[in-house]
Amino acid sequence: MRFLVCLKQVPDSTVKVKVGAGGKAVATEGITWSMSPYDEYAVELALERKDADPTTVVSVVTVGSARGRDALRQALAMGCDDATLVNAPEDLPALDVAKALAAVAKEMKPDIVLCGKQASDDDQGLVGPAVAEFLGWPHVGMLTKAVSSGDAWELWREVEGGHEVWKAKPPVVGLVHKSDKEPRYPSLPGIMKAKKKEIPEKDLASLGVTASSPKIEVAAMDLPPQRGGGKIFKLDGDAKAVAEQVANLLHTESKVL
């Protein structure tokens, strides 16, 4: 059984986001980058299968700048078997990214391609379904678990109030929402091995991808307005009296009534 997990390196969730000079993108100077959280879940979900069946091979791939190597190393440290970096400009349109990923999948012939359901930076949620489309494979979204059953896979999807279990025959593309366990913390030997592992590079041309898809242009980017400080009122009296005063304040102060 072979998994191919598609990763994206994004600004870490602990970074205090600032808008860059042009007012159209996040300032990225000196910030910490990490693997997008849904992609971490995807890696964990695949590795849980590898835990159950050690013959499983888990490959990871990312499309973008050299910085993406760190995300690949993180995945290797967690226990993935091999990693591929597809060199591409940072602003490659999402559909071209999907084409590149589909081309890699065609070469590797995995049984399942996993993507995080969306990247935590731009939250487009576009690449995963597009990869399925370019490959002509079925795709299943909101995955939380994948269990092999005979020649098919039981794919668990989180839905309102519970789970749906779909069955799919490989090859299939899955978009991961969460994993059973939290993504694993890499062991130190894992980190050291990952540091030494070679990460082959590919470029778009060798995959037969030309950047031709329409590009999204961000018109403007702003931080949400700062919230004003609240006011604290000291109210006396029994519940009824306090409730009256609150109602009064909602009318006179905040003018919501």
Partner 1 sequence: MTPPTQGIWSFVLLAVTLIAAAAFGYRVWHLYRLLRLGKDESRLDHPWRRLRDELVVYLGQRKLIKRPYWIRGIGHALIFWGFLVITWGSADLLLRGIVGWQMPFTDTVWYAWMLDFFAVAVLASVAVAVLRRAVLRPARMHRMPEGYVILGLIGFLMLTLVVFESAFVASRRDELGGHFGTPPPLARLFAPLIPTPTGGALFAGAWWAHVLTILAFAVYLPRTKHLHIVTTLFNVGFRKQTPRGQLSLIKDIENQESFGAATIRDFSWKQLLDGYTCTECGRCSDNCPALATGKPLDPQKIVLDIRDQLLREGPKLLGAKLNGTKANGDAATPPSHWVETKPEELWACTTCAACVEACPVTIEHIDKIVDMRRHLTLMEGAAPPESQRAMTNIERAGNPWGEPRDARGDWAQGLEIPTIAEKPDAEYLYFVGCAASYDRRNQRVARALATILKSAGVSFAILGAAETCNGDPARRLGNEYLYQLQAQQNIETMNALRTRKVITSCPHCFNTIANEYPQIGGNYEVTHALPLVRRLIAEKRIALSEAGAGAPGREATTDVVAYHDPCYLGRHNGIYDEPRAVLDAIPGVVRKEIAPHHRERGFCCGAGGGRMWMEEKIGQRVNHRRIEQLVMADTKATKVASGCPYCLIMLEEGVGAKGIAEQVKPVDVLELVAARLQQNTTQGSAPN
For binding to partner 1 (CB under 8 A), which residues are involved?
A: 12-16, 32, 34, 181-182, 184-192
Taking the complex as a whole, how short is the minimal distance between the CB of residue 53 and partner 1, in angstroms? 19
Nearer to partner 1 among residue 10 and residue 113 (C-beta): 10
In the bound state with partner 1, the residue whose beta carbon lies nearer, of 24 and 181, is: 181
Closest CB 182 distance from partner 1, rounded Å: 5
State the nearest-atom distance from the C-beta of 1 to partner 1, in Å.
22
Query: What's the rounded Cα separation, in Å, for the pair 48 and 251?
Result: 55
191's CB contacts (< 8 A; 6+ apart) are 77
8 and 119 Cβ atoms separated by less than 8 Å: yes
Give the span between the Cα atoms of 138 and 162, in whole angstroms: 22
CB nearer to partner 1: pick between 128 and 186: 186
CB 145 to partner 1: min, Å: 17
Residue 10 or 98 with smaller CB distance to partner 1: 10
Neighbours of 50 (CB within 10 A): 17
Is-cis flag, bond preceding 171, omega within 30? Answer: yes
Q: Which is nearer to partner 1, 123 or 182 (CB)?
A: 182
Secondary element (H or E) of residue 202: strand 201-203
Q: What is the DSSP string of 239-252?
A: HHHHHHHHHHHHHH
CB of 178 to partner 1, least distance (A): 13
